[in-house]
Amino acid sequence: EAGVTQFPSHSVIEKGQTVTLRCDPISGHDNLYWYRRVMGKEIKFLLHFVKESKQDESGMPNNRFLAERTGGTYSTLKVQPAELEDSGVYFCASSQTGTEILFGELFFGEGSRLTVL
Amino acid sequence: DQQVKQNSPSLSVQEGRISILNCDYTNSMFDYFLWYKKYPAEGPTFLISISSIKDKNEDGRFTVFLNKSAKHLSLHIVPSQPGDSAVYFCAALSGTGNNRKLIWGLGTSLAVNP
């Protein structure tokens, strides 16, 4: 069974440009999460989808970030326009139900590293 | 302000010895804690968890201890193996029901020397 896959693995863009990160969760997983790790800081929650609906987007830094999950399958996270402080590793994770996280049933992708110059 | 703190950025131990990784938290409402392990260029993978109603959970070489009064937990790895070399993250679960999210520590980089 395929795990959580993320594209691209690394993106280098200039300040002001746009980047779109994609996450394909494990098939059948209704819950999809985005987390971000900025260098030197802890991994932080960005948002949580249940199917195509945003369950919690309290961690989104500002309106330059737009997440979508049309059809409840894959998700995209667009940063427009990118700023220097957006650099970091963006992790996507999925689980079948929200409560399974308690038992470790939350699976992470390898992350998309974003470098904004 | 960080709610989950891992004050040791790195730890080095000899193969066969015990590794002890520490974690402190500030929010007494957290009801579950998890440890994740991360290798370079990979995503975090779940290691072990503990409910706040317990003080110990064991899985093979890995044991997590929770001291609620001190708001402190620790991960013990016995015996440590070179393959255990990785970054270990402590995380607390916030929220309820289906609305859960992880609050992470900064991580501790463990090096197990042969």
How does pLDDT run across B58-75, given as a tens digit for each residue?
999 999 999 999 999 999
The number of domains in chain A is 1
- pLDDT one digit per residue (tens) for chain A, 117 residues: 689 999 999 999 999 999 999 999 999 999 999 999 998 899 999 999 999 999 999 999 999 999 999 888 999 999 999 999 999 999 999 998 877 777 788 999 999 999 999
Q: Could you tell me the residue range of the domain that residue B44 belongs to?
A: 4-113
User: Which of B43, B95, B97 has the CB atom closest to A110's CB atom?
Assistant: B43
Q: Could you tell me the residue range of the domain that residue A18 belongs to?
A: 5-116
CATH code: domain of residue A83: 2.60.40.10
Across the strands, what pairs with A68?
A76
- How far apart (Å, rounded) are the C-alpha atoms in residues B77 and B75? 7
Q: Which DSSP string do the residues of B66-104 spell out, in sequence order?
A: EETTTTEEEEEESS--GGG-EEEEEEEEEEETTEEEEEE
Contacts of A31 in chain B (CB under 8 A): 98
Give B2's pLDDT tier (boundaries 50, 70, 90). Answer: confident
CATH code: domain of residue B81: 2.60.40.10
Contact (CB, 8 A) for A35 and A45 = yes
The label of the residue with tokens 């997440």 reads A67
For chain B, give the percent of residues with pLDDT over 90: 91
All residues at 6 or more sequence positions from A98 whose CB lies less than 8 Å from its CB, including other chains: A31, A48, A50, A55, B97, B98, B99, B100
Residue B1 has pLDDT above 80, yes or no: no
Contacts of B98 in chain A (CB under 8 A): 31, 50, 55, 97-99
pLDDT value for A71: 87
Q: Could you give the 3-state DSSP secondary structure of residue A52?
A: coil
User: Which of A97, A98, A110 has the CB atom closest to B41's CB atom?
Assistant: A110
